[in-house]
Structure 1
Amino acid sequence: MSTDPKAIEREIEQARERLAATIDQLAHRASPKTIANREAWAIKAHYVDPETGEPRTEAILKTVGIVVGTVAALVILRKFSR
């Protein structure tokens, strides 16, 4: 750390600029639009191979099975609850 007032002012200004840049980055990462885009890409990556662009059939079939099973369970539960 320097004792020269001009050097201290420069250090303070550089620290302010770094802090401002960090705050801007955090604000961008925390924005709802950025979060939504990040989550959409994560879901897409689960169902599509990013290297080949081909659909991941096993992941799609698992999801379809879960949806069909859930719908069937709900239909059965409704029939028995009457």
Structure 2
Amino acid sequence: MARDPDTIQREIEQARDALASTLDQLSDKTSPKRLAEDAKTSAQAKLDDPKVKYPLIGVGALVLFLLIRKLFR
């Protein structure tokens, strides 16, 4: 059974619009600026967690103490 050319054209245009929309979404999700912003947000959230924040402060203080001790020996 032959299909109407207008119907075929309409389906092609719908498929093209759907593909364009999908490509726009993919390019938005994989843009370097977006990926960097997501990584920054994730890292900031991890560092705001007290279980991570305070041990890092302690390690930083220890390293600073050891450096100062080494410099003045």
- If the length of structure 2 is used for normalisation, what is the TM-score? 0.69
Gaps of 5+ in 2: none
Larger helix fraction of residues: 2
Residue in 2 that maps onto 1:34: 34
**Equivalent position of 2:54 in the other structure:** 61
Superposition CA RMSD, Å = 2.4
RCO higher in structure (CA 8 A, sep ≥6): 1
Among the aligned pairs, what percent are the same residue? 36
CA apart distance, 1:68: 5.8
> Equivalents in 2 of 1:66, 1:7: separation in Å?
68
TM-score (norm 1): 0.62
TM-superposed deviation, 1:62: 2.9
Look at both structures and tell me which one has the larger radius of gyration over its CA atoms: 2
Number of positions where the alignment pairs a residue of Structure 1 with one of Structure 2: 65
